[in-house]
Structures are given as structure tokens and as C-alpha cells.
Amino acid sequence: MGFKRIMPVNASPEYGHAEKEYHLAKTTEEKIERLKKMLSVAPKHKSSENLIKQLRTRLKKFQGEIERTKKLSKSRGGKTGIKKLEMQAVIVGFSKSGKSSLLNILTNANAKISETKFTTTHSIIGMMPYGSTQVQLIEIPAMDSDFYDKGTVYTADSILILIQNIEELKKIESILQTNGKKIIVLTKSDLLSEPEKRKLEATLKSKYKKYEFVFISCITSEGIEELKEKIFKSFNKIRVYTKEPKKEKSNNPIILEPEANVKEVAEKILKGFSEKVKETKIWGPSSKFPGQKVGLQHKLKDLDIVEFKTR
Ligand SMILES: Nc1nc2c(ncn2[C@@H]2O[C@H](COP(=O)(O)OP(=O)(O)OP(=O)(O)O)[C@@H](O)[C@H]2O)c(=O)[nH]1
Ligand SMILES: [Mg+2]
């Protein structure tokens, strides 16, 4: 790292420790923090003036780097530039965990994938089609990089935590700050043996009961459909299909809040003219029997089918 080591006379063990920590720092933020610590514990006498000057110069250099990074990510529309849509999920994980690969499979994005670390340096947005609607999916730069976007993660509805082992999950949990729902995504499952998978599964089921988890591979496509389902479920919305009399149900469901009623569906598909509805029949989870006749106030459930007869 080119840092000339000058051990000052009378340096305390505290200083020695701070210096060691500084050399272990991975990110620029960490370096800044640890340089400040070194400065605070450096001996304050004539013979260490040179050292203190050197430390201050180095600190300024790193602070300048952070400023430039911030400006750069702003000008690229990163951080503050993301407009949050109704259903937003973020992809987080350490570098090379497969965030860009997953984003590209699930959405229209074309993020750069690479074998080298820290390839993604600004948050990348993709849209994932789901039913008749779209989910906003965002790759956040690696958690172990200087570009990690805390703000977007904090406000997202759902967080996909990409890991390959439990140790990574523990580390991420200690850094992650969010109000969103968490889904654990075990990536590169094609590289795991069946016994390895079973072991991970057992640990997650016993120690991480409150989280949903799924094994995925961007190579074999294992778990991709299951993950889409879990992402949608995490937003706590319902899907309702509509149909016309004597016809098949529509292919694309309408997305609604839980407990939405028939009137809301009618308003949506009849463009505000729910008074045109003469009769409504329903099939599916909220019906007592297939084809039950219901009123406009009837509350719907996920995967119901609604048929309107209009005047
Ligand atoms: N075997 C295997 N390799 C994968 C899979 N997904 C991603 N990779 C590889 O892992 C490496 C990193 O993938 P990326 O998608 O660029 O990872 P990332 O998390 O976006 O990395 P950064 O943006 O640098 O933090 C690449 O070489 C990918 O080809 C997978 O499911 N299986
Ligand atoms: Mg990436």
C-alpha cells in the first residue's frame, strides 16, 4: 500500500495496534476511520511531528477519493437518483456473489458480469415482469466495496441476500440495516453437492426460521421460478384473474392489496364504470363453491378468478 512505516519513539501499544488495524482495512471508509484512530493515539512530541504530517496527508487523500466517488455515483444517477416504485426489491451480497448474473436473468437489465471483484460500482435497476405488473429490482454494489448504497437498501420493500455459506450470512446480518423483508438466496447451487445443500438447508431451517430461503443457479436456472414467487409474496399483494362469461380466464392477473374487494377489480378493468356490473361470479380461494355469485363488497384472495356480466 506504499505507506512508509515510521515507528515513532515512545509509541504506545495502542498506536501499534491502531497501525496494524489500518493495514488490514479493506475499504477507503475503513482506512479513513483507522487513520483517525492512529492520529488520536500517536505520541505528541517533537520526534513524531513528521509522522503526524504523513498521516494527515494520507487521510486527506482518502477523503478526497470518497468525495470523488460520491460525485461520480450521483452523476450516474446512483444513490439519490432512484425513484422507488410500488414493489421494490434490492439484491445485496459480497462481491462476486452473482448479483449482476441474477439481475440479468430476472429483468431486462444488462449488467456487466465478471470474474474480477467489484465490477458493479453503481446501483443498477431492472424491471421484472410479474403477471400484468412489474417489480423493480436493483443490484446494489457489493457490501464489501466503497460503493455500497445503504440508503436504497434501508427503504426497499424486500431484500435478496445473496450468500454461498452461513459465515457470509452472519457477516451480512451484522452490516445490513433495513426495514424490508429478507429473503436468503443461496447462489451458485450448481457448485454444491447434495450433502452440502442438505447441511445448509438444515442450518437455515433451525437457526434462521424467520427467513424464506431458496437455492438458485444462474447456470442451470434452478430455483429461479421459485425465487420470483418468493419475491412477489414478500410484497404481500394478491393476484386476481378476470374472465368474461363463457371464456377462459385472462393470462395476466391484476395485482391488488390483500383484502381488496370485487369493486376494486371492476373499477380497474371497466375503467371506473363498476356500476355497469350486473352480476359477478367467483372461483378460487375466496369462493364457497366454484362460480359463486357475490356482491361488489366481497373480499378477494390470492389467485381468485372473477367473472363480470355487464349491462
Ligand atoms: N457456477 C456459477 N457461477 C456463477 C453463477 N452466478 C454467477 N456466477 C459467476 O460468478 C462471477 C461473479 O458474478 P457477477 O454476477 O458479476 O457477481 P456480482 O455479485 O455482480 O459481482 P460484483 O458486481 O463485482 O460485486 C462470474 O464469473 C459469474 O459467471 C452461478 O449460478 N453458478
Ligand atoms: Mg455486479
Residue ranges of the chain that CATH labels 3.40.50.300: 82-234
DSSP 8-class letter at 248? P
Q: What are the start and end residues of each CATH 3.10.20.30 domain in the chain?
A: 238-310
For ligand 1, whether the C-beta of 253 sits within 6 Å is no
Ligand 1 centroid, distance to 78 Cα (angstroms): 21
Three cell numbers at 296?
Answer: 361488489
Give the pLDDT confidence of 33-54 residue by residue, as tens digits. 999 999 999 888 888 888 899 9
Which residue from 111, 106, 99, 110 is spatially nearest to 130, judged by alpha carbons?
Answer: 106
Provide the CB-side half-sphere exposure for 266 (13 A, CA): 23
- Residue 98 CA to ligand 2 center (angstroms) comes to 7
The pLDDT, as a whole number, for residue 107 is 95
% pLDDT > 70, the chain: 94
* Residue 79 pLDDT exceeds 50: no
85 lines ligand 1 (CB under 6 A): no
pLDDT at 69 over 80: no
Percentage of the chain lying above the pLDDT 90 cut = 71
Report pLDDT digits (tens) over 115-130. Answer: 999 999 999 999 999 8
What is the number of the ligand 1 atom nearest to the C-alpha of 103?
15
Instruction: Provide the CATH topology of domain 82-234.
Output: Rossmann fold (3.40.50)
User: Which CATH code of 3.10.20.30, 3.40.50.1010, 2.60.300.12, 3.20.20.70 fits the domain covering 238-310?
Assistant: 3.10.20.30
Q: What is the pLDDT of residue 74?
A: 57
220 lines ligand 1 (CB under 6 A): no
pLDDT mean across residues, the chain: 90
Distance 274 CA to ligand 1 centre (A): 49
Q: How many CA atoms lie within 13 A of 231 on its CB side?
A: 30
Identify which of 185, 191, 218 to mutate to test ligand 1's pocket (most ligand atoms within 8 A of the CB): 218
| Block residue for cell numbers 436473468 | 105
Contacts of 75 (CB under 8 A, 6+ apart): none
In this structure, which ligand is nearest to the CA of 97? 1
Maximal CA-CA distance, the chain: 94
CA distance 280 to 307: 6
Q: Which band of pLDDT confidence, cut at 50, 70 and 90, is reported for residue 66? A: confident
C-beta of residue 157 within 8 angstroms of C-beta of residue 180: yes
DSSP state of 247: S
How many whole angstroms from 248 Cα to the centroid of ligand 1?
41
**Number of residues written out for the chain:** 311
What is the pLDDT at residue 77? 44
- DSSP-assigned states of every residue in 206-240: HH-TTSEEEE--TTT-TTHHHHHHHHHHHTT-EEE
CA of 235 relative to ligand 2 center, distance in Å: 24
Provide the b/e sequence for 106-119 (b: ≥16 CB within 10 Å).
bbebebebeeeeeb
pLDDT tens by residue, 231-245: 999 999 999 999 999
For residue 198, what are the CA distances in angstroms to 55, 138, 172, 208? Answer: 50, 30, 22, 15
